[in-house]
Structure 1
Amino acid sequence: MGRQLPNLVSNLMPRLVPGLILLAVLTPVLAGLIGAVLPATGWFPPLGGQLVSLAPLQALWAEPGLATSVLLSLFTALTATTLSYALAMGLLALLVGTGAAGRLVRLISPLLSVPHITVAVGFLFLLQPSGWLARLVSPWATGWDRPPPVNLVPDEAGWALIIGMVAKEVPFLLLMGLSAASQIDARRLLDEARLLGRGPLAAWALVVQPQLGRRLVLPVMIVLVFSVSVVDMALVLAPLTPAPLAVRILTWFRDPDLSFQFIAAAGAVLQIGLAVCCCLVWAAAAAVWARAVRLACAGGWRLSVPRVAGRAGHGLLLVFAVLPCVLAALGLASSLIWAFADIWRFPDALPSRWGFRGWALGGDGLVRAALTSAALGLSAAAVSVIAALIWLETTSFATVRRTEGMMYLPLLIPQIAFLFGLQILLIWLGMDGRPLTLLWVHVVFVFPYVMLSLGPSWRRFDVRFADVAASLGAGPWRRFWAVKLPILLIPLLTAFAVGFAVSQALYLPTVFASNGRVATLTTEAVTLASGAGRQTLGAASALQMALPLMVFLGADFIGRIRFRRFSWFGV
């Protein structure tokens, strides 16, 4: 009996642990969807909704400007995702197999650690009529001695929001694409296609890109769903008359007239429909492209381009791909300048007096928000990394194929759609505003990104190292702690830093899970962007940049210290 119990536990662990982790991740999502769908059908007894009816949907259709909000959401999401995907693929075509790939990734990957709202605030500081861009060219090039009557941010068509999202999503898709390119050995495929007579463009478009596209379906869908339902960036960069649908849902939810809760629920259901619509449009476009590739291959199309035209195309592609990231970097620099500016009059390119006015005006509020953000981010990242290690160590390949896709469900459903219902459930259970509840909701979103970052490296681990340790008498725990964990320390630290950065960027989950009672740097930045002084907003943005950067630098420092002995071998 004493031997049977450990065997029973070891047999149950691969089945029990994944189920518990999935339950913890999916319960808020499913509960939130139920909590949104029921009020959307008119049934919500706490507010007097006793009967199922179409009244909420009818009230939603009657809202002025709804069609414009829907079209704006669709246009910005599909355009931003298409541009991000095209630019990332173009950069991959230029960089795969070259030493420039690592250098470019190091240059633009810091944008990944910056929250979306920080990038949006940077664009606001850069592109406003009195923004830094106008200051840099005034008055010597424009003759402006006062801000021009030109409104670039926000614009009615949503292009500022599109450019802001492209600046954030191109680095993400580029990193995902480089990981996928290493899995399919893209350099070898390109060389073989060239040996068969294909030109560089044909080799990439007809051989490598289709295989990369299949492996990037999940990252692209995550970007697409996020883009169609983004709120924090839209509050700063998108038009508000009318606003995108996700912003209007948040407005209805916050309305003091409780009858708007039913309209908000109906809007949440419509938001899910928009996300599904965007995914179907993307899938249809991918199918058309795949058909075109097959026809091109069958027809022997070599897609040759003159050398001069090819070089010019490479240069233009590099400019268009890097331009949004450069604008984002300039915006972040503008935020840092405002954080330490006391007096900065137009059209001066730099402040006439530096100081800490913004920090003094922010006072204890910014300090408390920073401490809360740091504690919440570190806790969410730690819990997510531990859960990911347990998942990766206990799941079999068959379990992974059956269930792992389900853990990405929180990223494939618009946040505004199920967080609305989740808050209703949390209020009903008396769990809203509690620190553990807020941590749980953050982990729901952080854990999938940690798995995206850590999973591929963990599964490529060479088991022969563990086999050698086993032959020397090391048990399972000894092999894990002394062999596997040290070898995979850098991917582990990277996943932790990614998890921290994701937690810092969460706006809607923080607002809904805390019921507005917990202030983080992201929620403070959104609030300050609506009307506070630029110095205070710049100080909040500076802190938002500093926290993830410190964690990434700390992870890099630990990795370098741990593996410094290998520097003797040029590693």
Structure 2
Amino acid sequence: MIRLLYLVTILICALPLIPGVLGIVLPALSWLPALGLYTPSFSAFNIAFQWSGLSQSIFLTLFTGIGSTVLAIALCFFILRANWNSPRWQRIEHLIAPMLALPHVAFAIGFAFTFAPTGWLFRLLESIGIDTSSAFTLIQDPYGIGLLFALAIKETPFLLLMSVSVLHQIRVNQLQAVAAGLGYNHNESWLKVVLPQWLPKMRMPIYAVLAYGLSVVDIALILGPTRPPTLAVLVWQWFNEPDLLLITRAAVGALLLLTVSFSVLALARAIEWLAFDIKREWQISGAFRYQATTPLTTKSNKRKRNTGISGRLHWPFFIIPIVVVPVLLLWSFAQRWRFPDILPSRYSARFWLQESNTLIELATSSAMLACISACLALILAIGCLEYRQKYQRGLPTWLIALPMVIPQLSILFGMQISTYFISGQYYWFWVIWSHVLFAFPYLYLSLDGPWRSYDIRLDQSARSLGMNAWATWWKVKRPLMMPAIWLAIAVGMSVSLAQYLPTQILGAGRISTLTTEAVALASGQDRRVSAVYGLLQGLLPLIFFTLALIASRYSGNFSRHKKSIQRQTRSTNTDDLICGKPHYK
């Protein structure tokens, strides 16, 4: 059974990459028999490269994708350096999960309502007498600065969360103690000792953030520049052209996006190799002399590093998401809100009532799709983890990470071309398949740590007492793993709920979710309806994580309560354990 699940996982999550790539290479070469194109040629490349704004779109993609990733990495490192092992870090760690639960689309809509020329920030500035008529706006600016900042703010909590296990793994406290003995102060120990070990172990999360920033479509449609747009949005526009013969140009664009993303990832790996393996003089140059006389652990240093600017860098990443939610709530109930009033002059629930039937239908379909996809991905992830534990051979890390680092638009375009060769309208099947493909890596990585920390001797003891493999897993291992499983299900459902391109492309517009409708309405004129959809789209993941936390705590408490009852039973029935029968007096 475990071997079968392992093979099914490879079929579902690895083999689609082959038709996904072939599905963009062959149409890019103008070979598409479904449209009567039987002669390969490079004419589609000429059509795509002759588009006047292509070079500018590539530059915007590189600027926003690389810039947001570098900014997120730098801010994540500064926040960790200033707050790790301090009382403030516990508060930061508690705020990470709610920030991650807020979907990208809901955050982008709230970000737009906050920083738009008629947004809440400009209203506040006008109320204190500052003229904003000629002020620079971050929403759809021609340089992509607003998109860059939005991506950095949204991805920094993710990198912080991924850094927690890495810092525990490299034992930061011991590294700092050794560095202090060699004369390094706090900042230099983090730069020369912690950073060279932290960054390589954060490679996969950073690559995922970088690939997402280069190929994002939904946030770029809401916040990014429009004339010209980023390369991913441009390819998406080409893909939606009514002339089917132009689909070859879209294939070239998808192939170009894939090439740009892999080139940037290769460049990032080369820079890491050069900085940490070749040019290592900055690491081994030793501590500065004037810093060697400053002890690392003095109270003045701790107070100084906790009250400095870097100690407060985490506030924008928590304040801005917290602010955008009330802004969405105000807009959803605002009937009349003139500029530059700070608050609406009239409130009404008309827009909630007007969209109630549609919202219920969309929420039901979104939750059902997320639940099915998360459960299937969970079964596959558990099967692969059990296969690795039993046979000491698992999925390669690069294979697991491929769906996270490959641009979605490129691979989905090829997958859709491949589905044309299968007759029938199986849109729900294709959408669920794509959601499982992109949710599986997150579920696998969420459960990888708990599975590695599980004591295998518990299984050996259970098997020695006569239990079979299934009973051992169900009665011994499953209760211990249930808290992690509940949280992994919430992660998988949130990832599935946030999928915009897989639902649009493989669903062919016939399957609607809260995410697809929220993106479609975000560019509309009625902010109230957009706020309603954005608020509900952000509410579902919060419900998922809340229920998962409750179930996780309940399962943990239930397991501990059951063990205590069993211990009490064993202590009171010693005669049964010794003699095999009750001892009658």
Give the aligned length.
554
**Which entry has the higher C-alpha Rg, 1 or 2?**
2
Work out the percentage of aligned pairs sharing the same amino acid.
34
- CA distance in 1 between partners of 2:446 and 2:381 (Å): 10
Contact conserved, 2:305 with 2:311, CA < 8 A, in 1? no
Say what the alpha-carbon RMSD is for the aligned residues. Answer: 2.5
Q: Deviations over 1:301-354 (max 9, x none)?
A: 348768779936963224344314422321222112212222222222222222
After TM superposition, the score normalised by the length of structure 1 is 0.91
Aligned counterpart for 2:462 among listed residues 469, 472, 475 = 469
- CA distance in 2 between partners of 1:431 and 1:276 (Å): 34
Q: Which structure 2 residues correspond to residues 337-416 of structure 1 after superposition, within 5 A?
A: 337-396=330-389, 400=393, 403-416=396-409
Q: Which residue of 1 aligns with 2:100?
A: 112
- CA distance in 1 between partners of 2:399 and 2:9 (Å): 11
Q: Deviations over 1:253-283 (max 9, x none)?
A: 1111222201100000100111012112212
How far is 1:109 from its partner? Answer: 2.4
Q: Which residue of 2 aligns with 1:4?
A: none
Q: Which residue of 2 aligns with 1:123?
A: 111
Q: Which residue of 2 aligns with 1:73?
A: 61
| Cα distance change on mapping 1:463 and 1:304 into 2, 3 Å | farther
Q: Which residue of 2 aligns with 1:5?
A: none
Choose 420-429 or 488-497, whichever is displaced more.
Answer: 420-429
Q: What SS class does the counterpart of residue 335 from structure 2 fall into?
A: strand
How far is 1:398 from its partner? Answer: 7.2
Contact conserved, 1:96 with 1:186, CA < 8 A, in 2? no
How far is 1:433 from its partner? Answer: 5.1
Is 1:524 matched with 2:523?
A: no
Contact conserved, 2:385 with 2:394, CA < 8 A, in 1? no
Q: Which residue of 2 aligns with 1:232?
A: 218
Q: Tell me, which stretches of 5 or more residues in structure 1 are unaligned?
A: 1-8
Contact conserved, 2:175 with 2:193, CA < 8 A, in 1? yes
Q: Which residue of 1 aligns with 2:583?
A: none
- CA distance in 2 between partners of 1:290 and 1:93 (Å): 19
| Cα distance change on mapping 1:564 and 1:309 into 2, 3 Å | closer
Is 1:480 matched with 2:463?
A: no
How far is 1:471 from its partner? Answer: 4.2
Aligned counterpart for 2:542 among listed residues 546, 549, 560 = 549
Contact conserved, 1:44 with 1:50, CA < 8 A, in 2? yes
| Cα distance change on mapping 1:230 and 1:353 into 2, 3 Å | same
Q: Which residue of 1 aligns with 2:437?
A: 444
How far is 1:21 from its partner? Answer: 0.6
How far is 1:401 from its partner? Answer: 5.8
Is 1:168 matched with 2:161?
A: no
Contact conserved, 1:41 with 1:54, CA < 8 A, in 2? yes
Q: Tell me, which stretches of 5 or more residues in structure 2 are unaligned?
A: 295-299, 562-585
How far is 1:485 from its partner? Answer: 1.4
- CA distance in 2 between partners of 1:303 and 1:152 (Å): 44
Q: What SS class does the counterpart of residue 192 from structure 1 fall into?
A: helix
Contact conserved, 1:341 with 1:357, CA < 8 A, in 2? no
After TM superposition, the score normalised by the length of structure 2 is 0.89
Aligned counterpart for 1:250 among listed residues 217, 236, 241 = 236
- CA distance in 2 between partners of 1:196 and 1:537 (Å): 57
| Cα distance change on mapping 1:539 and 1:433 into 2, 3 Å | farther
Q: Which residue of 2 aligns with 1:195?
A: 181
- CA distance in 1 between partners of 2:82 and 2:375 (Å): 36
Q: Which residue of 2 aligns with 1:59?
A: 47
Q: Which structure 2 residues correspond to residues 171-186 of structure 1 after superposition, within 5 A?
A: 171-186=157-172
- CA distance in 1 between partners of 2:393 and 2:107 (Å): 35
Contact conserved, 2:116 with 2:138, CA < 8 A, in 1? yes
Q: Which residue of 2 aligns with 1:153?
A: 139
| Cα distance change on mapping 1:381 and 1:161 into 2, 3 Å | same
How far is 1:536 from its partner? Answer: 0.8
Q: What SS class does the counterpart of residue 488 from structure 1 fall into?
A: helix
Q: Output the amino acid matched with 1:156.
A: P
How far is 1:399 from its partner? Answer: 5.8
Aligned counterpart for 1:138 among listed residues 113, 118, 126 = 126
